[in-house]
Amino acid sequence: MNDKLVIFDTTLRDGEQSPGAAMTKDEKIRIARQLERLGVDVIEAGFAAASPGDAEAIKSIASIIKGSTVCSLARANERDVRAAGEAIRPAASGRIHTFIATSPIHMEKKLRMTPDQVVEAAVKAVKMALEYTDDVEFSAEDAVRSEMDFLCRVFDEVIKAGAKTLNVPDTVGYSIPVLWGERMRQLIERVPSSDQVIWSTHCHNDLGMAVANSLAAVMNGARQVECTINGLGERAGNASLEEVVMAVKTRRDVFTCDSRIDTTQIVPSSRLVSQITGYPVQPNKAIVGANAFSHESGIHQDGVLKHRETYEIMRAEDVGWSHNKLTLGKLSGRNAFRTRLHELGIIMESEEALNVTFARFKELADKKREIFDEDLHALVAVEGGVDTCDRLKLVSLKVCSETGETPHAFVVLSDGGTEISADEFGGGPVDASFRAIEKRVESGATLLLYSVNNITTGTDAQGEVTVRLSRNGRIVNGQGADTDIVIASAKAYLNALNKLFGAEERAHPQV
In terms of CB distance, is 101 or 346 closer to Zn ion?
Answer: 101
The distance in angstroms from the start CA to the end CA of the chain is 43
14/26 with CB nearer Zn ion:
14
When the beta carbons of 224 and 357 are compared against ligand KIV, the nearer one is 224
Least distance from ligand KIV to the Cβ atom of residue 511, Å: 11
Q: Which does 285 bind (CB under 5 to 8 A by kind): ligand KIV, Zn ion, none?
A: none
- CB nearer to Zn ion: pick between 14 and 424: 14
CB of 248 to ligand KIV, least distance (A): 21
> What phi and psi, each to the nearest 5 degrees, are found at residue 115?
-55, -40
Residues numbered 481 to 510 that lie near ligand KIV (CB under 6 A) are: 509-510
Among 5, 8, 9, 14, interactor with Zn ion by CB under 5 A: 14
Name residues contacting ligand KIV, limited to 404-463 (CB under 6 A): none
Please identify, using beta-carbon distances, which residue of 214 and 483 lies nearer to ligand KIV: 214
Residue 173's nearest CA partner among 203, 141, 202 is 203
CA–CA dist 162, 165 (Å, integer): 9
If binding is defined by CB under 6 A, does position 375 make contact with ligand KIV?
no
What is the closest distance, in whole angstroms, from the C-beta atom of residue 238 to Zn ion in the complex? 6
Residue whose CB is less far from ligand KIV, 171 or 220: 171
How many residues make contact with ligand KIV (CB under 6 A)? 11
The nearer residue to Zn ion, 169 or 320, going by C-beta atoms, is: 169
DSSP state of 432: H
In the complex with ligand KIV, the residue whose CB is nearer, 204 or 285, is 204
Rounded distance between C-alpha atoms, residue 383 and residue 381, angstroms = 6
Binders of ligand KIV among residues 152 to 171 (CB under 6 A) are 167, 169, 171
**Comparison of 101 and 497: residue with beta carbon closer to ligand KIV:** 101
Amino acid identity, residue 56?
E
* Total residue count of the chain as it appears in this document: 511
| Nearest Cα residue to 185 out of 158, 216, 160, 157 | 216
Please state the closest distance from residue 398 (CB atom) to Zn ion, in A: 46
- Candidate list 80, 135, 141, 243; residue touching ligand KIV; CB under 6 A: 141
The nearest distance, CB 442 to Zn ion, in angstroms, is: 37
Least Å from the CB of residue 58 to ligand KIV:
15
Closer to ligand KIV by Cβ: residue 204 or 491: 204
Contacts of range 326-330, beta carbons closer than 8 Å, 24 or more positions apart: 326/370, 326/371, 326/372, 327/371, 327/372, 327/373, 327/376, 328/361, 328/365, 328/371, 328/376, 329/365, 329/369, 329/370, 329/371, 330/362, 330/365, 330/366, 330/369
- Partner from Zn ion, ligand KIV, none contacting 99, C-beta within 5 to 8 A by type: ligand KIV
Min CB(257)–ligand KIV separation in Å: 21
By C-alpha distance, which of 23, 471, 3, 25 is closest to 277?
Answer: 23
- Nearest-approach distance from CB 510 to ligand KIV, in angstroms: 6
Q: Which of residues 1-60 bind ligand KIV (CB under 6 A)?
A: 14
Provide the minimum distance between the beta carbon of 293 and Zn ion in the complex, in angstroms, as a whole number: 30
Residue ranges in 203-222 that form contacts with ligand KIV under rule CB under 6 A: 204
Closest residue to bound Zn ion by CB = 14
Asked if 224 and 8 count as a contact pair (C-beta separation under 8 A), the reply is: yes
Task: Return d(Cα 206, Cα 334) in angstroms, integer.
Answer: 47
Residue span 342-371 as binding mask against ligand KIV, x where in contact by CB under 6 A, dash where not: ------------------------------
CA proximity to 221, closest of 193, 252, 195, 191 = 195
Which residues 77-106 are close enough to bind ligand KIV by CB under 6 A? Answer: 99
Part in contact with Zn ion (CB under 5 A); list of ranges 13-21, 217-225, 468-476, 478-486: 13-21
- For residue 169, give the nearest of 94, 253, 233, 95 by alpha carbon: 233
Asked if residue 48 lies in contact with residue 70, where contact means CB atoms within 8 angstroms, the answer is: no
Pick 155 or 493: Cβ nearer ligand KIV: 155
Q: At what angle do helices 148-161 and 115-129 cross, to 10 degrees?
A: 30
Cβ-contact 65, 41 below 8 angstroms? no
Least distance from ligand KIV to the Cβ atom of residue 67, Å: 24
H or E, element range at 271: helix 266-277
CB 313 within 8 A of CB 253: no
Comparing C-alpha atoms, which of 204, 193, 144 is closest to residue 168? 144
Relative to beta strand 326-328, strand 371-372 is: antiparallel
Greatest extent of the chain over all pairs of C-alpha atoms, in Å? 76
Which residues face 98 on adjacent strands? Answer: 74, 138
Task: Give me the least distance between CB of 304 and ligand KIV, in Å please.
Answer: 39
| Interaction site with Zn ion (CB under 5 A) | 14
| Interaction site with ligand KIV (CB under 6 A) | 14, 99, 139, 141, 167, 169, 171, 202, 204, 509-510
